[in-house]
A and B are shown apart, each in its own frame.
Chain A
Amino acid sequence: MASLRGLSRPARSLPLSQLSRQTYTAGSIRCASSQADLSDLEDSTLTAPQLGPDEKKEFRPWKRAADRKVRLPSGRYQFHPPKYNRGPLHPVQSPPASDPIARDFVPGPFNMPRLKQTYQSTIASDLMTLAYTHVPPGTPQKESPARLRGWDGSSPYHKNRALRGPRGSAVLPLIERDVTFNNIPEITEVTISTYVPAAIKDPDHLLVARSVVLSLTGTTPDITKTKSNVAQWGIKIGDRAGVKSTVYGNAAYEFLDRCVHLVFPRIKDWRGIRATTGDRAGNLAFGLSPDEVKLFPEVEANYWMYPAKMLPGCKVFIKTSATSDRQARLLLQSFGVPFYGDV
């Protein structure tokens, strides 16, 4: 470009490609590889077909630019996404996260987690086969039981009143669905949480817990607050005494991969995860003591960075798209997580 500055004005107005293009004979353009046999190379979608003369005549970008009624902003104009989210009704909105100029743009993905690859190529179809339940054609569709309680009608005010929830709990438990081809359980997210009540006295504990969870998940963790008052334990509502972080998608698969292949085999006298774990909706959980957290390669690699006595244990919640615990257990078993105890 520096040499271009020195050129005369008419020469500068030429496009750069014309200046830098050198004259080649047809024979010298061909490199050695083009003469070699190319049949071994795979077909690439990048090799576009040659344009015909008609298509060349059709391609007139200058015509389109001339016909444009509204002038585009100049080439130096750049859109700046808003710095703050002012709500869905504000006229200025951020572009989607896939847009590279968005403030929350994340490049990637740059690899395929091997656990995900294994799942998609092998485990998914195997699970579907293993849990297949045959429904003969003509079988009437099973109606889900009415789990919400009605009103007896003893009062005229019962008319049009919303149904009551189940006795004993406000939560309606999920009904297990049969595994079909569009309903195969898979891993959606992994949450890691830590509770460090010692942080109430000494906030350094919270800092260590934050940096450990940060190194385990690769995302900046949130600080959680205590939910209950217990005088004997010295905790009260609103104490900052916990840390949590959630990873989704590929990162969740990678975390599980590290657990299954690097951490679990190194835990001494480990029997597996207790088989009764779960919240009846296909989300399983297990705990890791500080000694077991130490086995994670991210923590182990710079173990000297943390004060050894402050290293926290953590709870890991694996959330799956399964609708019952037994389906989720089947999924984790196929990933290589052992279970023990009563089923």
Chain B
Amino acid sequence: MSFTLPSLRGLASRFLTRPTTLTTTLSNPSTTTQCLAASARALSTTPSLLAPPGAKSQKGPSKGPSKGGKPQQGKKKIKRGEEVRDPKMINMLSHFAVLSPNRIPPPLRMGRNRHLRHWTIHRAWLLFRRREREARERNLMRQHQSMRSACEELRLTAGPGTRDEGYLYRAAMEKKGVYGLHGVPIEYARAQTETPAKVAWNHDWKR
């Protein structure tokens, strides 16, 4: 291909939403986290994921005629010297053919008012995101400043007891083990969900 597009990402993603065998799970990887988590767990009634869906049904008919010793009528005859391409390879090739730049769909078309509507919503979304981000940054700055003033207070305080000035400050500033292997306990890593577990962490778990 001699041409270059600004990015094929958008068009590829439009393709990826097609329900093909290859792309069913990756169609929108950003939205499938919870589904994936659910499907990863096999129930006793779940058929084995590693087996092809039609494994048994394919075996049955193919064995039948071969026992009879008659070649199938519908199939093309394969010459002796020719190598048969693996159907898995053909499957993968066909999916990449769909993603090729020759198959790019045309861009969306919008009337003027519809485009203006979209533009307004887009501007509102940008504004919303900006406000959220600024609120987050403001909060972090506030936290940082209060930490700073607290540490300054500690630095200029004497005590406890007969300790000299700045003892508490030096103790607070100790960074022992922060950058080590156990700087953050593993229990800390619980991603937030809308439906958290009732028991947060099973401490008695053993292999």
Q: Chain A residues in contact with chain B, CB under 8 A?
A: 72, 75, 77-78, 80-81, 83-85, 94, 97-98, 100-106, 108-111, 113-115, 117-118, 120-122, 124-125, 128-134, 136-137, 180-182, 184, 204, 207-208, 210-211, 214-220, 250-251, 254-255, 257-258, 260-262, 275, 297-298, 300-307, 326-327, 329-330, 333-340, 343
Contact = CB atoms under 8 A, between A and B. Distances in A.
A340 B189 contact: no
Given A84-B5, A103-B10, A134-B173, A261 B152 contact: no
How many B residues touch the partner, as a band?
35 or more
Contact of B152 (A101, A111, A137): A137
Contacts of A251: 29-30
B122 interface: yes
B189 A336 contact: yes
B171 interface: no
Interface of B: 3-13, 16, 21-26, 28-31, 33, 36-37, 39-40, 49-53, 55, 86, 88-89, 91-93, 95-96, 99, 104, 107-112, 115, 118, 122, 136-137, 139-141, 143-144, 147-148, 151-152, 155, 169, 173, 175, 178-181, 183-184, 186, 188-193
Contact of A254 (B24, B33, B178, B180): B33
A312 to B, nearest CB: 13
B88 A134 contact: no
Contacts of B112: 72, 75, 77
Contact of B96 (A113, A121, A211): A211
Contacts of B22: 211, 214-215, 302, 305
Given A115-B191, A118-B191, A305 B179 contact: no
Nearest to A108: B30
A100 B189 contact: no
B6 A304 contact: no
A297 B152 CA distance: 50
Given A85-B6, A207-B89, A330-B179, A304 B33 contact: no
